[in-house]
Amino acid sequence: MNLALSEEQEILKKAARDFLEEKCHKSFVKQMEQDEKGYSPELWEEMANLGWIGLAFPEKYGGSGMTFLDLCVLLEEMGRACLPAPFFSTVVLGALPILNAGREEQKEQYLPMIDSGKAIFSLALMEPELEYGPKAIAVEATPDGDAYIINGSKLFVPYANVADYLLCVSRTSKREEGITIFIVDAKSPGVKYTVLKTMAHDKLCEVLFDHVPAAKGNILGQLNQGWNEIQKTVERAGVAKCCELVGNFQWVLEDTIAYAKERKQFDRPIGSFQVIQHYCADMATYVEGARLSAYQAAWMLSEGLPCTKEIAVAKSWINEVSPLIFNLAHQIHGAMGLTMEHDLHFYTTRAKPVEFSYGGDITTEK
């Protein structure tokens, strides 16, 4: 296994970094935190024109025909830039399940819309039980002629406030694993959302489904057999989010080292003190471990290899080292790192929630 990036991936990485450094400066990120939508439609259109949204779609659906691993390279750069956009929710949580489990007519209908930037998707999975598992799904979909009627509430649905479609995970049988995924029009009259207050100021929403109709033709995959696809989706999302965090960590490491070289105390840079050098070395070790474990899992997923253990290792390692990296970064920055004027807070507030997402008892050894 060679985890070095290919020439094509290096070009993608550099192009993404150059574009995001120009378009996604921190003043823009701060502006989007206060924006009602939480993203810029103009920037979203530019990303679509660059081919980013359909990067991992086959060419026959308008995509670039690249791999999941290539997508993870792009996500790393987005994590480095703290990009505020519904990219993760649309591509990883919405499009990839359709690509993996959808019928051909569903792929032909939705994937070109996503690729062109004309449709935003999200996944409505979590409920007040706050567990990953079929028994935690209480939102019900009851048959009504040629449709199902969906009732219940979902929590932490990313960018539901701007979504055109939601993949709603619903209970359609009393059996524990009788779960079905529906493609739901997010603009239906019975769909109501509330944007939640979060530490990252991102657009996580509570979504209420009040007698929302979903045609039988909008079932994604098989009736009562949706949980297997949800497991795959959460595994992909966990690895993708790990790669996104690698970009987050890398920026924090580089910024902290630069600060340690510039900040002087006792007439010398603080980076000349051995304890600060040890802190930076520890951070570098943690970041490199995160990169290696995340990309190993991403490569194996991309190759279609069994990788349940590798996914769990990547998520576990990143969950373990994330608070360590940020504790050391804030200690080295001192009071400056705790101010809103410094950019470090953008990364801290975005990394913390990942420790509690896309993992847990949904991932079991096969």
DSSP character string of 202-227 = --EEEEEEEEEEEEGGGEESSTTB-H
Give the count of beta carbons closer than 10 Å to the beta carbon of residue 133: 17
Output the pLDDT for position 364: 38
What's the predicted TM-score (pTM) here?
0.94
CATH for the stretch 7-119: 1.10.540.10
Q: Give the C-alpha separation, 164 to 161, whole Å.
A: 9
Q: Give the C-alpha separation, 40 to 38, whole Å.
A: 7
The CA-to-CA distance between both ends of the chain, in Å, stands at: 22
Domain ranges of the chain: 7-119, 122-226, 228-356
Output the pLDDT for position 192: 98
Whether the CB-CB separation of 163 and 186 falls below 8 Å is answered with yes
- Which residue, 249, 324, 243, is CA-closest to 282? 324
Whether the CB-CB separation of 338 and 346 falls below 8 Å is answered with no
Whether the CB-CB separation of 96 and 56 falls below 8 Å is answered with yes
- Which residue, 181, 169, 171, 191, is CA-closest to 106? 181
Show the tokens assigned to 357.
């997402």
Amino acid at 13: K
Per residue in 30-72, pLDDT (tens digit) is 999 999 999 999 999 999 999 999 999 999 999 999 999 999 9
The proportion of the chain whose per-residue pLDDT surpasses 90, expressed as a percent, equals 91
Q: Using CA of residue 212, residue 218, residue 222, residue 223, what is the dihedral sign?
A: positive
Output the pLDDT for position 15: 98
Buried b (16+ CB within 10 A) or exposed e, 58-87: eeebbbbebbbbbbbbbbbbbbbbbbbbbb
Output the pLDDT for position 338: 85
Query: Is 306 in a helix, a strand, or coil?
Result: coil
- Is the pLDDT assigned to residue 230 strictly greater than 50? yes
Per residue in 302-316, pLDDT (tens digit) is 999 999 999 999 999
Whether the CB-CB separation of 192 and 147 falls below 8 Å is answered with no
Q: Mention the CATH class of domain 122-226.
A: mainly beta
- Which residue, 28, 64, 350, 44, is CA-closest to 203? 350
Q: Mention the CATH class of domain 228-356.
A: mainly alpha
Whose tokens are 């991936």? That residue is 9
Q: Give the C-alpha separation, 325 to 3, whole Å.
A: 23
Q: Give the C-alpha separation, 140 to 138, whole Å.
A: 6
Output the pLDDT for position 1: 62
Output the pLDDT for position 366: 35
Per residue in 240-277, pLDDT (tens digit) is 999 999 999 999 999 999 999 999 999 999 999 999 99
75, containing H or E segment: helix 68-81
DSSP assignment letter at 353: G
